[in-house]
Chain A
Amino acid sequence: MTTFDLLLQQTINGLSLGAMYALLALGFTLVYGILELINFSHFNVFMVGSFVALFVLQAFGLSGQEVILTGLPLFGVLLVAFIGTMLFSGALGLAIERLCLRPLRNVKGPAAMITTIGVSYILFNVILLTIGADSKNFPNPLPVIRWKLAGATLDFRVVLIWAIALLLMAALYIFVQRSRIGKAMRATAQDAEAARMMGVEVDKVIVMAFFLGSALAGAGGLIFGLYYNFTSFIIGFTAGLRAFTAAVLGGIGNVPGAMVGGVLIGLIEAMGGQFIATAWTDVIIFSILVLVLVFKPAGLFGRIAPSKS
């Protein structure tokens, strides 16, 4: 392969990773935008989501790459799998907010963030102790169709992942921009107190942010399985940190920023793995995180966060 072919191939790979990180980053950004809270439990809501997807697909009698579906059956199975996974993950996020975070809403300091670390740990270990430490083969019913694009290969499933991710992000964007509750979310993100006084039910808005963010994380978990053909209890940490970096890069609290940031991080990971070394990918991504936070804390698209003094 020529360098150009490599670049092209890694762009394709990077965009797929980026689609997944963007979905995950949206969850961080929605919650941070409203509560100014880094939600560490999001890491493992994503991981749990991929297991839920695994079980839904297995319920259809799918396992590994043995059964291939096409046409309507494929569409139906994927639709049910996405909806089921997203509903379950969304409900999980909602439960976390209701049980663990709402009681701490008015507590100053790092208590809420420490709680999300604890929740993340609980999810992680519940999966580890009940399902086990070995990685699980993820059912993949997609037909293998490959197109040649210069020297690179474009996979049908990659195209599908892009399409689904784009669809979800577009839906979220329209929801946040157009719907009544979306408007309430944006108002609360600007100034929760003023929004409350204008009659916005802030509790509802927060619940909605957790539900939407977690549902997208679940979709991200399903996409992870489809892309890598496996899932494991361990996938949340790395993917979560990269997605968080993506959210910061795009300007945390900024919905389109999270999408762009996700794609950028995906591309950086793919290119870094190809042209530098996979072993150093995390170091590169963390360095970006630190550099962005130090030199441009508002990110690429973020407004400068109002300092609460």
Chain B
Amino acid sequence: MNATASAAVSVLTRPFTRIPEVQRRRIWMMLLTAAAVAFPLVHNNDADIDSMANAAAYATLALGLNIVVGFAGLLDLGYAAFFAIGAYTYGILTAFQLQPEWSAFWEPFQFLGLVGKMPAETGDGSVVHFTLSFWLALPFAACLAAFFGVLFGAPTLRLKGDYLAIVTLGFGEIVPIVVRNWSDLTNGAAGLNGVAAPRLFGWSFGVDATPYYYVAIALVALLIFVSVRLRDSRIGRAWMAIREDEIAAGAMGINRTKYKLLAFAIGAAFGGMTGVFYVAKLQTATPEMFGFPVSVMILVMIVFGGIGSVWGVVLGAFILQLLQSWWLQDLTEWLHAIGRAVDNIWLQHVDLVPSIELIFGLILVGMMLFRRQGLIPATRQQAALTLDQQHAEVRRGGFSDLKLHGLGGEMRSPEAALDIQDVTVRFGGLTALNKVELKVPRGGVVAVIGPNGSGKSTLFNVITGLVEAEEGSIRFYGDEIMGLADYQILEKGIARTFQNLRLFPNLTVMENALIGQHARLKTGVLAAILHPPGTMAEEKQAREWAMEIFSIFGNRLAPRVTQVVAGLSYANRRRIEIARALASRPRILLLDEPTAGMNPAETLELAEQIKSLNALGLTVLLIEHKLDVVTTLADTVYVLDHGEVIAHGKPDEVRRDEEVLRAYLGRNAQASLAGASVNVA
């Protein structure tokens, strides 16, 4: 945005560009808050305030579902179940549904104000009346719903996306069925009655809409705050990594099980809290309030507003809820008026309100076909780089000016950093690796070469826990790592790149590098939301470290840190993968054909950069086809063929090895080329 022409255009299209972005956002927030607070004061219509309160309640549901679907990419079609669980938690614990007989057991609860004692309707004993406070019910129901979120989420973790949708749909159906059939607890289809209104300092909210409106708006504000804080934290980055590429997420140290369940739990907690609010406002609860149509409606809201976009889903929820309660009615009345004017019977009697679900269906299809990113897209368009910034500075000779503290520092020694023994991997009848033995000495560079299909990538996969070995042992600094999960292996200090690039395509260069640091950062959910000083410092250091890593590649990545990686050149994406792996501060770096697809100049540049990394004391194991790269970098070369190590030694020795020549060129070719110097690759 530095060209004057584009600035002039943006003044026309986007006002207030002169005010810095942060301040502009603050001003919008203040205006929005003021409008939300003033609404009931200036618009004194109870029904309208009630509609707004409902819209706000749906906005909180949309925010909750957005965590699961938008952030973590887990399509949940049964979200209303958590809404129901929260609603019935509060309903049952304040209505007169459960009335166990009074006993001494209840006295401490009475002291805490959670239960009351009342005379039984029949007989002369006393029974318990639950009187859970609304304000306690909010966190309690959130925890309970989160528990069910984990319970429902756990069996679905191994499923692929579509199956997840159908299983959550199943749970979404089971919960209302259980509610309907477990009448002792829920009063069945008739619904709970006499749910208590919230009280604040002894004053009951009653049936007036205004206090509910303020509670709902406060809840929306709170959940927006929590959503934004989580999104921009280590937690949110982990979710988005899972959404973008599960395998790469695991390889970058993210415990997928944990973070998927966390998304389910937090999303469910939002739903549970909203359930409490909704039932307290309605003062009744029936199973029909939480069926599949509700789950779909919330999904429509986030699809409409923008999947993954916090402000988008809030906007989507408000628009659709108000469409339902205000605009369709207004529109119907206008049509009736027109009908009377033109004397058309059909127009006089048409009613648009029941067509809301049809509109939902049209919105789903229309948005998917024509605007998948929603009203407010989660990622905004990036300004293009200027020509100046695009100018790549070719850097030869590696680097010597960078210290990169915390990376490498290994003293060269013949002792093994990585020690692979007798590793065998079979896929069905195919033996991909057969009793492979390989040692990577500390501080050294080892290259693995071999024809296509010789098991090189399988070797990397078995080291990093993506493929299970049938037998053998892999020791890393003496510790057995075979059988560890992929993310644990990264935590130990083994980071890798992938042959076919596995970046997180819709995230920025910086976000990719920050995800690489996942295992080295500590921020948990609470710290992500509350931002204690330690967390802020950690985030700042993480960004500084990422910038330091980027500077290895000269000015190739540094100007592009805010760009989405999907739009970058192939060579730059390769560099980002290496940067992402380095960001995790590995003790050994595994590179799978790092220079594939690069031109000779770029290849040489990268080889020298890898050499410099090694000079800092970083151990490297690489798969490479380009022989000049192998000879420049490697101390030791291993040759794989048909899953077996057929030779290893210094690059020059391996080049002359007969078996190697045979593997690459075949027996006859070898004979005809006898004596000639042969380029192995």
Contact = CB atoms under 8 A, between A and B. Distances in A.
Interface of A: 36-38, 100, 103-104, 107, 109-115, 117-122, 124-126, 128-129, 237, 241, 244, 248, 277, 279-280, 282-283, 286-287, 289-290, 293-294, 297, 307, 309
Interface of B: 73, 75, 77, 155-156, 158-163, 165-167, 169-171, 173-174, 177-178, 180-181, 247, 292, 296, 299, 303, 354-355, 357-358, 360-366, 368-369, 372
B358 A129 contact: yes
B390 to A, nearest CB: 28
A121 to B, nearest CB: 3
Question: Among the interface residues A125, A237, A280, which one has the most CB atoms of the partner chain B within 10 A?
Answer: A125
24 contacts: A100-B368, A100-B369, A104-B369, A110-B162, A113-B75, A115-B368, A118-B362, A118-B364, A121-B361, A122-B358, A122-B362, A128-B357, A129-B358, A237-B292, A241-B173, A244-B166, A279-B180, A286-B173, A289-B167, A290-B167, A293-B156, A293-B167, A297-B159, A309-B247
B372 A38 contact: no
Given A109-B73, A289-B166, A297-B159, A118 B177 contact: no
A237 B158 CA distance: 26
A117 B172 CA distance: 15
A291 to B, nearest CB: 8
Contacts of B247: 309
A110 B372 contact: no
Contact of B178 (A103, A121, A283): A283
Contacts of A244: 166
A218 to B, nearest CB: 20
B361 A119 contact: yes
Given A115-B365, A289-B170, 10 more contacts: A114-B303, A115-B364, A118-B364, A121-B357, A122-B365, A279-B177, A286-B170, A286-B173, A290-B167, A290-B171
A103 B181 contact: no
Given A37-B162, A289-B170, A293-B163, A118 B361 contact: yes
B170 A118 contact: no
Contact of B355 (A120, A129, A289): A129
B170 A290 contact: yes
Contacts of A286: 170-171, 173-174
Contacts of B361: 118-122, 124-125
A114 B357 contact: no
Question: Among the interface residues A109, A111, A115, which one has the most CB atoms of the partner chain B within 10 A?
Answer: A115
Contacts of A109: 73, 161
B408 to A, nearest CB: 31
A54 B380 CA distance: 51
Contacts of A114: 75, 299, 303, 364, 368
Given A113-B165, A293-B167, A297-B159, A118 B365 contact: yes
Contact of B354 (A120, A129, A248): A129
Question: Among the interface residues B155, B158, B166, which one has the most CB atoms of the partner chain A within 10 A?
Answer: B166
B355 A113 contact: no
B358 A121 contact: yes
A115 B177 contact: no
Contacts of B180: 279
A57 B372 CA distance: 42
Please provide the 4 A-B residue pairs with the shortest distance between their CB atoms, ordered closest to farther: A118-B364, A121-B361, A125-B358, A122-B361
